[in-house]
Amino acid sequence: METPCRWILLETRLRSGHKNSLTHRSFRLGFAAPNNEAEYEALIAGLRLAIGIEARKLHAYSDSQLVTSQYHGEYETKPERMKAYLKVVRELTEQFDHFELTRIL
């Protein structure tokens, strides 16, 4: 049985000279992943997409309490795999002038 898809919504402000635009992308993971890993994979894919279109300011929204809380330092990140995901997210977010991650219900 297939697991329902999770979505990350991105709001971007592109470099001056570019008009604000809305881009829709979807993807399927090529491997089985637990829910929390799939949430991180979706966030990382969205960050890479935003970097690819030269976004300078990014506001990402996620329904994952774990991912948003780990990013904000509210939850300790214990498993090594989750630490690795968080490290990638932090490295990618450093490429933006401004990045914000908000949990949605």
80-91 tens-digit pLDDT: 999 999 999 999
For residue 88, tell me if it sits in a domain: yes
The beta-strand segments (E) located in 1-105 are: 9-14, 55-62, 98-103
For residue 1, tell me if it sits in a domain: no
CATH of residue 99: 3.30.420.10
For residue 2, tell me if it sits in a domain: no
pLDDT in the model for residue 65 = 94
**Closest of 48, 34, 53, 43 to residue 9, by C-alpha:** 43
Q: Which regions of the chain are under pLDDT 50?
A: 1-17
Backbone phi, then psi, for 6, in 5-degree steps?
A: -110, 150
Q: Hunting for tokens 């829709």 — which residue is that?
A: 24
Domain count along the chain: 1
For residue 48, tell me if it sits in a domain: yes
pLDDT in the model for residue 21 = 55
For residue 4, tell me if it sits in a domain: no
Longest dimension (CA), the chain: 46
Do residues 56 and 15 touch, judged by C-beta distance below 8 A?
A: yes
pTM of the model: 0.76
For residue 18, tell me if it sits in a domain: yes
